[in-house]
Amino acid sequence: MTKWLLAAGVLMPLYSAQATQDPEAVYNRVCGACHSGQLPMAPERGDQEAWTPRLAKGMGTLVQHVTQGFKAMPPRGLCMDCSAEDYQAIILWMSASKPGP
């Protein structure tokens, strides 16, 4: 019984871990509604001037802001199926420089 519980304890996190979603797909589905220029406080994708001070606060703080809500950001950024890993990937994708035309 002890070996079974130990094995279950080791394997359980593997089953509960959610694969990271495609950041661009999540942005298009949820984030773009606010982060594509409609809300002046929401930093737009690729806006280095807006993202630099936010990134300086650390990824943990940014993920916490998204998860709990911060200022005009609604809790979970309205992405109810996003994990912390998804939020990190989306933040990194949004804060990267926009590709050229």
Q: What is the pLDDT of residue 33?
A: 93
Name the amino acid, one letter, at 47.
D
Residues 63, 88: contact at Cβ < 8 Å?
yes
Give yes or no for a contact between 67 and 87, defined as CB atoms under 8 angstroms apart: yes
Write the pLDDT tens digit of every residue in 47-87. Answer: 999 999 999 999 999 999 999 999 999 999 999 999 999 99
pLDDT of residue 1: 52
Residues in a beta bridge with 70? 73
* Calpha distance 85→20 (Å, rounded): 6
pLDDT recorded at residue 16: 46
Helices and strands in the chain, H and E counts: 6, 0
Residues of the chain with pLDDT > 90: what percent? 73
Nearest alpha-carbon partner for 56 in 24, 95, 85, 90: 95
Say how far apart CA 91 and CA 78 lie, in whole Å.
14
